[in-house]
Amino acid sequence: MGRTLTAACFFLLIASTAFAQTFRGGIRGIVTDQTGGVVPSAAAKATNEATGLSYSTTSSTGGEFVFADLPLGEYTVAISKGGFETFRINGIRVSAGAIYNLPVKLNVAEISASVEVSAAAVAVETTSTTLTNVLSTRTVQDLPLNGRDFSQMLALTPGFSGYEGGGSASMNGSRSNQFNWQIEGTDNNDQWFNIKAVNQGGINSIPGVLLPLDSVEEYSVQTQAAAETGRNPGGAVNLIIKSGTNQPHGSGYYYNRNESLSALSPFAPVDAPKNRLRNEHYGFSVGGPVRRDKTFFFTTYENQNFVIGNQALATMPSREYQAAALQLLKQYAVPINPVAQTLLSTLWPADTLAGPASANNYFNPTPQTGFSHNFLVKLDHSINDKNRLSFRWFIGKGSQTAPVGSLISDYFQVGPMHVENYSLVHNAILTSTLTNQVLVGVNYFNQAFSDANTSFDPVALGFNTGVSGRDLTGAPFLSVTGFDPTGVSPISGRIDITSHVSDTVSYTKGKHQMRFGGELRRVRLEEWGAGGGNNDGGRGNFFFNGTQGPWSGLLSVPGYDTNIAALADFLAGYVYQSTILSGDVRRLVFQNLFNVFAQDSWRITRDVNLNFGLRWDFEGPMHDGQQDLSTFDPSKGGLVVVGQQIENLYPRSWKNLSPRLGFTFQPNGREDLVVRGGFGLFYDTPSISPFLDQASLANNGAIGVEANPAGSKPVYQITRNGYTIVPNQAIFPANISVSGNNVINLFSVSPDFRPAYVTSFNLNVEKSLGRNAIVQIGYVGSRGHHLNIVRNINQAAMGSGFVKATNAAGFTFQQQSRPYFSQFPNFGVIDQLESIGISSYNSLQATVRTRNWHGLISQFSYTLAHNLDEVSNATTLPQNSNDLEGDYSNAGSDIRHHFGGYVLYDIPGSSRGPAWLSHGWQLNTNISVRTGFPLTVRASSDTSGTGENTTRAVQVADPFQGLSHAVVSGESVQWINRTAFVNPPSGSYGSVARNSIYGPGYAAVDVSLFKNIPIREAYRAQLRVEMFNIFNRVNLAQPGGRVGGGLGRIGDTIGDSRGSPGIGPGEPFNVQLALKFLF
């Protein structure tokens, strides 16, 4: 009967349902007698100590018992069998994604008796091969986290690589968007970027909405996991929300900081007052019973408001810079372009032009601002002893204004955000050996962007692009090499809704603990606008780089400030490269994702456990049914439309099988030492933005498959290069079409595109040191296959951009040199998304954990790693699209050494002095130390002449010779000797390797001191002083990476450069004060 029911459930799951990684925990054990013989049919009962809810099962013929998918908390387990003493153990902590192993030895009962013991504070995991890092309730609540952002806790996981602020994290060699973010098993992924939805940066790194930390029960990260885990290879990050209990509990709190308790930015002018640093959080949480032992509730609210002054320096085309550029024009008898002169005086405010002719000549004190309102409610209900329900709803709304790509206040980005996340979970005990969990969830994400000032009218200034339409008011994107640009944020946004159903079945038979299930996700995504970055859509983007005037030879002079030549090009009206978009790019697309799995944990002997399983992932191609998505296929006549010439953008992949295999071995036969190893294949769910938003590609190609001139909504992205601006004359033709000498850029998806996958493997040893400490050390590695990359399959010939000749039809020499010119003369850049990338990662990882050791809770981890790839994301181009192997080098996340950890310490009270003063103190610290990120040094301009703008530099000297890297207040830091790199000769590529130079390292120690003040029984107040970067170490941003005056120059701290000045990890010393009331 058991086998029949299992098979029936499995086929039902394949036919109709789906599965997500477990967000609960479990208890597994084996019952033996004094001789070591197994005891079948023993009654096992687990009782949640906070809610009183109990779960029952019996041991199998092999003596095995399992409590699967238990809500988190402390449990008491009782084992009884006729003729034996009852065994009872309390204080068992059930954590997210973890199985607590409980060996039980029953003694023969001479009289009615029972044995009671307490669980160890930490225990070695003897059966699972998944690498799980869990942060407990207390750790989550008490760690000093700058900005109260849960994503910062990822840095405490072994294998982490990235900035601690959560914007560019990598785990065990993964890309930064290869995590599966979840809230209690419910999808928390914004499928656009495949990054977290709740707590996603509003504009930069500061979250647009916040999940209140006071709502979090546990924070769990699983890597190297069993078949149950999938969707992404980087790991599953799960946030478990608190529940109500029989005992009412909750908190009220107020956190505040301001500049009076903060250090001045090292890059602020010496006589400048402190920047504003105002950040406040206030809110509450409360939970308790609706009906004791039956129904419980938990709810929380948090508000955040911040006003943060800018700390960074920028480079502006100051009057002194203009004077130097005008001298060049005078020297070569080139007249000033009146349109350029008007644009410069109008689009760059007068206060930005007052600095000297040097890099980092402008400081803007205008603050960034933001707010959010965040609310959560959770209900848990026990229908009966075998059926439990849990419902949760989160909603967050907020808005931010901050600099992105330009420190000119008019071009600060404005970004409102609205996020919701729902789930309903049903857990059923079907038999003593069979349980089932069904989850239904919805994830809603809505965000929009625009410039702070969209009132500019370029046509009135004599700058006529020739394109008109809605949402086109505001400054065009004008990029003069070396200076901050204008018009960085066209009107754009997206609404991303993911709904899913999941089911997981657990079945115990003999020595086997089996799980199987699946998951179905449906993604609905509406996007509008043209992204931003280099491609400003209908307002156009225009580049001036110093190569168009008679002064271009100065770009190859070592040490020459190439900014002057670029500004001279602009003042002369000499455009190197420009693109514009005409048409409606708004799209509504869908994606279907389906997974099933089966796995078994087989205890072969008392000391050996084998875990094996198989997962199948179907990741359906993006589609919309409107025949407005197209791609390039020369074998089918050029542009082909989905729903017409082709069925899908790329073939469906039906063979995505992911085997998983692992083992655990206890060499000494005890529970204190285990050797484990594992291998797994993990497929990566493709995000949607690489198909629809490639606005940051350096060659200014089409932004995605919605921006091609085909289908029901044709969009034209036209290019015009190497010309002079004429007042009021249309730059682009009014009637754009694939005809004449118009050059249209395209975006394509390879017909051989397929989902990426990563093979992961590990071998490690874990040893307990008594009842309160564990040490683990081992090797973790991975290999990436079919990773997403973008390359230009119609790349122009090297040096072609410097030849000014045109043919009889008016096509430039560069256009004529493109591979597809003879067949498709009007097609320019054809950027194609392909799945041909590879990566390699090897690491040594070590961790030490303690729990309740003389009042101490701690964890420290160290990772020594090396990560290699060709391209680290699908939004950048190689130097040469015809030589991808030439870019194989250090990955963008290649951090060689990382040490992280935390300590929570209850300071012992003194017997001297009054107890109210000497008792109740707590000290906590959060530590992170690592080496720097790699950096690619690029040429100041497109010396290759291909128009790709990705040329690397040539190294001619030691880049660090004679540099001290000392930080002097008010001055920028010269990290790299700028004379050590020069531009390659015209018509050639650079020889310096990709990511071959490493930027500044990072170190921060955050400390908090608490004083707990008892009010009466179960009520207390808590005073908190949280000090971030207590030693005020200057954590520098990455240096400038282009040949010229800004090469190697650093004028910012790391947090500010990533959009979280003051309240980001590693920022200058600052203090946060808080008052908290707990019950």
**CA–CA dist 896, 309 (Å, integer):** 33
Q: Which amino acid is at 1064?
A: G
- The mean pLDDT value of the chain amounts to 91
Strands 180-183 and 236-241: parallel
pLDDT tops 70 at residue 80: yes
Structure token digits, residue 1003: 């170190």
**CA–CA dist 326, 151 (Å, integer):** 49
Mean pLDDT of 265-273: 80
CA 785 to mean position of chain CA atoms: 20
Tell me: the pLDDT tens digits for 443-475? 999 999 999 998 999 999 999 998 876 667 789
pLDDT of residue 14: 30
Is 744 in contact with 828 (CB distance < 8 Å)? yes
% of residues, the chain, pLDDT over 90: 72
**CA–CA dist 298, 281 (Å, integer):** 20
Structure token digits, residue 63: 């003596």
Q: What are phi and psi of 409, to 5 degrees?
A: -55, -35
pLDDT of residue 534: 42
pLDDT tops 50 at residue 535: no
**CA–CA dist 290, 730 (Å, integer):** 70
For 266, half-sphere exposure in the C-beta direction (CA atoms, 13 angstrom radius) is 22
Pick the CATH number of 2-118 from 2.60.40.10, 1.10.3720.10, 2.60.40.1120, 3.40.50.300: 2.60.40.1120
**CA–CA dist 1079, 251 (Å, integer):** 6
pLDDT tops 50 at residue 112: no
**Chain position carrying tokens 């930064």:** 176
Among residues 436, 423, 429, 602, which one has the least CA distance to residue 10?
Answer: 436
Q: How crowded is residue 966: how many other Cβ atoms within 10 Å of its Cβ?
A: 9
Q: What are phi and psi of 264, to 5 degrees?
A: -70, 145
- Reading phi first (left if > 0) and then psi (alpha if -120 to 50, else beta), residue 647 is in alpha
Task: Name the DSSP class of 962.
Answer: T
pLDDT tops 60 at residue 293: yes
Output the DSSP codes for 147-162. Answer: TS-GGGGGGGSTTEES
pLDDT tops 50 at residue 70: yes
**CA–CA dist 294, 245 (Å, integer):** 10
Give per-residue burial for 266-283: e unless 16+ CB within 10 Å, then b.
bbbeeeeeebbbbbbbbb
CA 964 to mean position of chain CA atoms: 33
- Reading phi first (left if > 0) and then psi (alpha if -120 to 50, else beta), residue 946 is in alpha
Tell me: the pLDDT tens digits for 635-653? 999 999 999 999 999 999 9
Q: Give a three-class secondary structure readout of 37-56.
A: CECCCCEEEEEECCCCCEEE
Structure token digits, residue 6: 């299992």
Structure token digits, residue 403: 């600099």
pLDDT tops 60 at residue 130: yes
Is 634 in contact with 249 (CB distance < 8 Å)? no
pLDDT of residue 909: 86
pLDDT of residue 120: 59
Mean pLDDT of 156-173: 88
pLDDT of residue 345: 94
**CA–CA dist 403, 837 (Å, integer):** 33
pLDDT of residue 525: 97
Structure token digits, residue 695: 């606005």
**Chain position carrying tokens 């000494």:** 668
Break the chain into its structural domains and give their ranges. Answer: 2-118, 316-358+455-490+531-584
Tell me: the pLDDT tens digits for 232-249? 999 999 999 999 999 999
Is 278 in contact with 371 (CB distance < 8 Å)? no
**CA–CA dist 447, 193 (Å, integer):** 13
Give the pLDDT band of residue 855 (cuts 50, 70, 90): confident
Q: What is the CA radius of gyration of the chain?
A: 31
pLDDT of residue 471: 64
Q: Give a three-class secondary structure readout of 119-144.
A: CCCCCCCCCCCCEEEEECHHHHHHCC
Tell me: the pLDDT tens digits for 334-390? 999 999 999 999 999 999 999 999 998 998 888 999 999 999 999 999 999 999 999
Mean pLDDT of 942-961: 95
pLDDT tops 90 at residue 753: yes
**Chain position carrying tokens 């953008």:** 649
Q: Is the dihedral of CA 36, 38, 39, 42 positive or negative?
A: positive
Show Cβ contacts of residue 390 under 8 Å, excluding neighbours closer than 6 positions. 71, 184, 243, 378, 379, 380, 381, 423, 424, 425, 427
Structure token digits, residue 988: 């050639």
Task: Name the DSSP class of 443.
Answer: E
Show Cβ contacts of residue 33 under 8 Å, excluding neighbours closer than 6 positions. 39, 84, 105, 106, 108
pLDDT of residue 115: 60
Q: Is the dihedral of CA 58, 60, 61, 62 positive or negative?
A: negative
Give the pLDDT band of residue 15 (cuts 50, 70, 90): very low
Structure token digits, residue 762: 């590990």
Measured CA distances, 512 to 65, 456, 612, 713, 862 (Å)? 10, 69, 11, 56, 35
pLDDT tops 80 at residue 2: no
**CA–CA dist 1079, 285 (Å, integer):** 10
With H, G, I as helix, E, B as strand and everything else as coil, classify residue 565. Answer: helix
**CA–CA dist 924, 457 (Å, integer):** 55
To 5 degrees, how large is the angle CA 174–CA 622–CA 516?
60
Is 381 in contact with 365 (CB distance < 8 Å)? no
Mean pLDDT of 897-905: 97
Measured CA distances, 1010 to 156, 280, 1075 (Å)? 22, 18, 10
Q: Give a three-class secondary structure readout of 741-779.
A: CCEEEEEEECCCCCCCEEEEEEEEEEEECCCCEEEEEEE
Output the DSSP codes for 639-667. Answer: EEEBTTTBSSSS------EEEEEEEEE-T
Give the pLDDT band of residue 11 (cuts 50, 70, 90): very low
Q: Is the dihedral of CA 1035, 1038, 1043, 1044 positive or negative?
A: negative
pLDDT of residue 539: 87
Output the DSSP codes for 870-901. Answer: S-SSTT---S-TT-GGGG-EE-TT--SEEEEE
pLDDT tops 60 at residue 557: yes
Show Cβ contacts of residue 757 under 8 Å, excluding neighbours closer than 6 positions. 233, 656, 658, 681, 682, 683, 684, 784, 785, 786
**CA–CA dist 167, 202 (Å, integer):** 11
pLDDT of residue 13: 33
Mean pLDDT of 100-129: 72
Structure token digits, residue 690: 């690489």
Strands 477-480 and 541-544: parallel
Show Cβ contacts of residue 266 under 8 Å, excluding neighbours closer than 6 positions. 967, 969, 970, 1034, 1053, 1068
